[in-house]
Amino acid sequence: ELRFNVYPNPSSGTFKLEVENVQLDVQVSFKVVNVLGQMVYSGTTRGFSEITLGDVNPGNYLVFVEGAEAPEMITIK
């Protein structure tokens, strides 16, 4: 099971995604969804990524990482 962190939280729209327990040669998919379940960003990482959401409204978003048990919530100011 993968574990991950998103920080800083709250964020201004740019945040870091750090995935633990992942091999460096393995890409892991992730997505960011709004409270309506609409995907606003998706990508892959090899353990650490800096994500800039761009033009999103302030509010709460969920970050899902493939292989992780539960999403993390991030607040965008």
Domain locations in the chain? 3-76
CA–CA distance, 75 with 59 (Å, rounded to integer): 6
Question: Taking residues 49-67, what's their average pLDDT?
Answer: 95
Question: Taking residues 4-26, what's their average pLDDT?
Answer: 91
pLDDT band at 23 (very low <50, low <70, confident <90, very high): confident
pLDDT digit string (tens) for 32-54? 999 999 999 999 998 899 999 98
pTM: 0.92
Task: Name the class of domain 3-76.
Answer: mainly beta
Candidates 2, 1, 15; CA nearest to 73 is 15
Rg (CA), the chain: 12
